[in-house]
């Protein structure tokens, strides 16, 4: 979950991420409310999360006891259930933790891990497990290490894999 963010700031963050990347953010208008921002096709869509009577929902047909349950449901099920133009699910959570981690390194007086190179993805790749990194053709990937059997450790859109 991201902090309180304007729609435009969420859009700026997600436009450099793979399609299907999303974040749950606090809304600027009312910081007790949340929204989902998701990159779909070549734009970012914003969906208000309604909290009513102790339940959370984005459509009237499905209600959840928690935000986590709502997100977990839409990681598996398509958003088109309530939004016909959004035939996708929540694929890749935006991980802003890399940015917070770099601040911690500075505070502790340590140098931030430095990439050994940078690559531009020549094709799409969908991760097969959590240790892998998904990316789209044209995404910039910071390379931190090169391992055996051709596997590298890198970062794209705040995600490391």
Q: Which domains does the chain have, with CATH numbers?
A: 7-93 (3.30.505.10), 97-160 (2.30.30.40)
| pLDDT range class, residue 99, cuts 50, 70, 90 | very low
| pLDDT range class, residue 45, cuts 50, 70, 90 | very high
Q: Counting Cβ atoms within 10 Å, is residue 79 exposed (0-12), middle (13-18) or buried (19+)?
A: buried
More confident site: 63 or 124: 63
Rounded to 5°, the CA angle 65-67-71 comes to 115
Segment 5-25 mean pLDDT: 86
Given this model, what pLDDT does residue 96 score? 56
pLDDT at 110 over 50: no
Count other Cβ atoms within 10 Å, centred on residue 153: 17
Q: How far is Cα 90 from Cα 36, in angstroms, rounded to an integer?
A: 9
């Amino acid at each position: 979950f991201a902090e309180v963010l304007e729609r435009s700031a969420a859009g700026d963050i997600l436009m450099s991420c793979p399609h299907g990347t999303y974040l749950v953010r606090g809304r600027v208008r009312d910081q007790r409310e949340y929204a989902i921002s998701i990159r779909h096709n070549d734009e970012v869509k914003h969906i208000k999360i309604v909290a009513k009577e102790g339940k959370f929902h984005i459509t009237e047909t499905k209600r959840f006891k928690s935000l986590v349950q709502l997100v977990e449901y839409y990681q598996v099920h398509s958003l088109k259930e309530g939004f016909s133009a959004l035939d996708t699910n929540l694929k890749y959570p935006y991980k802003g933790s890399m940015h917070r981690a770099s601040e911690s390194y500075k505070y502790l007086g340590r140098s931030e891990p430095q990439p050994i190179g940078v690559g531009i993805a020549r094709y799409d790749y969908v991760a097969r497990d959590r240790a892998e990194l998904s990316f789209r053709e044209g995404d910039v990937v910071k390379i931190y290490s090169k391992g055996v059997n051709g596997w590298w450790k890198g970062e794209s859109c705040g995600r490391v894999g």
